Amino acid sequence: MNINNYDVIVMGGGPAGSSVASMLAREGRQVILFEKEIFPRHHIGESLMTDTYWTFRRMGVLDKLKASPFVRKYSVQFANAAGKESRPFYFFESVHHESAVTWQVTRAEFDKLLIDHAADSGVTVHQGVLVKQVLFEGDQAVGVEVQMQDGSREKFFAKVVVDATGQVAMLSNKFRWRVRDPKLKKAVLYSYWKGVHREPDLNGGATLVLRTEKGSNGWFWYIPLENDITSVGIVADPEYLVQGRGQDLAKIYEEEVEKCEPCRRRVEGGTRVDKIYSILDYSYRSKQNAGNGFIIIGDAYGFLDPIYSSGVLLALKMAELAADAIHDAFNHDDFSAERLGQYQAKLDRGIESMRKLVYAFYNEGFSFSGFLRKYPEERVHIINLLIGDVFREGVDQVYGPMAEFAEIPPPLYEQVDGTLTPQVPTPDEADLLLSAKYKSFDDRQPQTSGD
Ligand SMILES: Cc1cc2nc3c(=O)[nH]c(=O)nc-3n(C[C@H](O)[C@H](O)[C@H](O)COP(=O)(O)OP(=O)(O)OC[C@H]3O[C@@H](n4cnc5c(N)ncnc54)[C@H](O)[C@@H]3O)c2cc1C
């Protein structure tokens, strides 16, 4: 046997890649993973949803998380533009199990914990190794060509290649499968603070979502991390946040903190301890989740606006669905797109459930408090969505009554142009606006601004 032959090759060692690799290896497959960075490396996406618990349990990493210094998260709370705060949405109102508590994670440490866990689970992990291309025989993926740390090129072969390359989205870009959400396009500025306000009790672990002024279509996140660090970021329409405001991102960020009363009040007395990071984020989804011999998961498949912190949850759920489909493919010796991609309809239903809630939030005038005043019995369904239980039968029923308060969108593919024709992502007016500071759509990594 060629020593470069494996059952499964995983490209990318973020939460999606490390998780699918760990599960497959623990469940008997020979897996190799390539990650271009050497961890720890900075990444955004710090607040977890509680339903990540079940994937952590399957991949055997719960004890490591419980022993970690990550802050415990019990709830989410919203404040409107006038600073009026909702009642906290405690996850234990709906879930009576230890899975009702999750973590706020420093991603550099969390992602390292997961990739190290993949290695502990029997995955052959290569960090600092870039996948240059996926190798095809006809339309069947058969392996990858990588650039090793010393610059040499090497080929590896497998029955299944998993694309978990995050927003690089290697294969859905190659096939031009990415469909962009026409309405969800945001600019993001964020940084880290020390010594800012934190509630003494279990509310101290909450994610706060603080709406910014009318017309911004935006909000601040306020996420408590370990070592008294708090992540504070604004997400808003690029036209509002950066257009005509010059290139000084630190100045814009500070002006926005100043304008958002519930945010200003909380950071007063603390110190900003990091530079400003900026991202231009578009929500998108791939038209297909698999091809012959390959499968696409995590942000490489789809990205949804970060308002409800659903990114890692969806990445982990996709990792689980992919692991099941890959086992099924081995059991039937059938590595076709149909078999590997068998779960796409279920996955898309789950993502759509979350996407509707995202649209509701951005509806001018919508607030959870207003909605729940009229429909208090829907509180538990909102909590089920906020914990990430998006595949649950009936979870969508909340959108019947919610349609009185907010426009609920049709599924993305229908909304784009009524067919499954993909829109090739192209730089648009927002990229032009931001071109001096932001990289292009297809090469997005956070940019930093020194002060
Ligand atoms: C502003 C913002 C805020 C967010 N907040 C949250 C939040 O609070 N909670 C949450 O759950 N999610 C959040 N997210 C989303 C979250 O960051 C992502 O959904 C999550 O990181 C997806 O994991 P992934 O493994 O698919 O991709 P990634 O974490 O991006 O991992 C992909 C990996 O692939 C590697 N890679 C890429 N190309 C190659 C290659 N050619 N060869 C080898 N390796 C490669 C990269 O180096 C990277 O390490 C947020 C996102 C944004 C933009």
pTM, two decimals, is 0.93
The whole-number average pLDDT for the span 139-147 is 98
pLDDT at 160 exceeding the cut of 80: yes
pLDDT, mean of residues 11-15: 98
Distances (CA, A) of 302 to 12, 37, 50, 114, 239: 15, 21, 20, 21, 24
Q: What is the pLDDT of residue 442?
A: 35
Q: Please write the tens of the pLDDT for every residue from 48-101.
A: 999 999 999 999 999 999 999 999 999 999 998 888 888 899 999 988 999 999
Pocket around ligand 1 at a 6 A CB cut-off:
11-17, 34-37, 43-48, 130-131, 164-166, 168, 170, 188, 279, 281, 298-300, 306, 309, 311-313, 315
pLDDT of residue 32: 98
Domain membership flag for residue 332: yes
**Ligand 1 atom with least separation from CA of 235:** 1
Mean per-residue pLDDT over the chain, rounded = 90
pLDDT digit string, tens, across residues 234-252 = 999 998 998 888 888 999 9
pLDDT band of 427, cuts 50, 70, 90: very low
What band does 416 get if pLDDT is binned at 50, 70 and 90? Answer: low
273, 307, 342 - which closes a domain: 342
How far, in Å, is the centroid of ligand 1 from the Cα of 166? 5
pLDDT at 157 over 60: yes
Do residues 75 and 56 both lie within one domain?
no
Report the separation in Å between the CA atom of 21 and the middle of ligand 1, taken as the mean of its atom positions.
16
| Domain match, 210 and 166 both | no
> Does some domain include residue 353?
no
For the segment 164-177, the average pLDDT, to the nearest whole number, is 94
Residues 277 and 304 placed together within one structural domain of the fold:
no
pLDDT category, 438, cuts 50, 70, 90? very low
Kindly state whether residue 333 falls inside one of the protein's structural domains: yes
pLDDT tens per residue, range 14-42: 999 999 999 999 999 999 999 999 999 99
- The per-residue pLDDT for 417 is 56
Specify whether 309 is located in the same domain as 247.
Answer: no
CATH classification of the domain holding 251: 3.30.9.100
Question: How far is residue 235's CA from residue 278's CA, in Å, rounded to a whole number?
Answer: 10
Q: Judge whether residue 429 has pLDDT over 90.
A: no
Shared domain check, 275 and 264: yes
pLDDT at 215 over 90: no
Number of domains forming the structure of the chain: 2
> Which of the listed residues 342, 365, 381 is the one where a domain comes to its end?
342
Per-residue pLDDT tens over the stretch 306-353:
999 999 999 999 999 999 999 999 999 999 999 999 999 999 999 999
Distance from residue 82's CA to the centre of ligand 1 (Å): 33
**Domain extent at residue 308:** 5-69+106-177+287-342
136 and 29 in a common domain? yes
The single residue listed with the structure tokens 């509630």 is: 199
pLDDT band at residue 354 under the 50/70/90 scheme: very high
Distance 397 CA to ligand 1 centre (A): 30
Q: Tell me, what CATH number does 38's domain have? A: 3.50.50.60
pLDDT value for 440 = 34
pLDDT, position 243: 82
Q: Considering only residues 336 and 200, tell me which one the structure prediction assigns the higher pLDDT.
A: 336
Are 163 and 189 part of one and the same domain? no
The answer to whether residue 402 sits within a structural domain is no
The predicted pLDDT at position 153 comes to 97
Residues 56 and 202 in one domain: no
Residue 92 lies in a domain: yes
pLDDT of residue 182: 84
Task: Give residue 2's pLDDT band: very low, low, confident or very high (50, 70, 90).
Answer: low
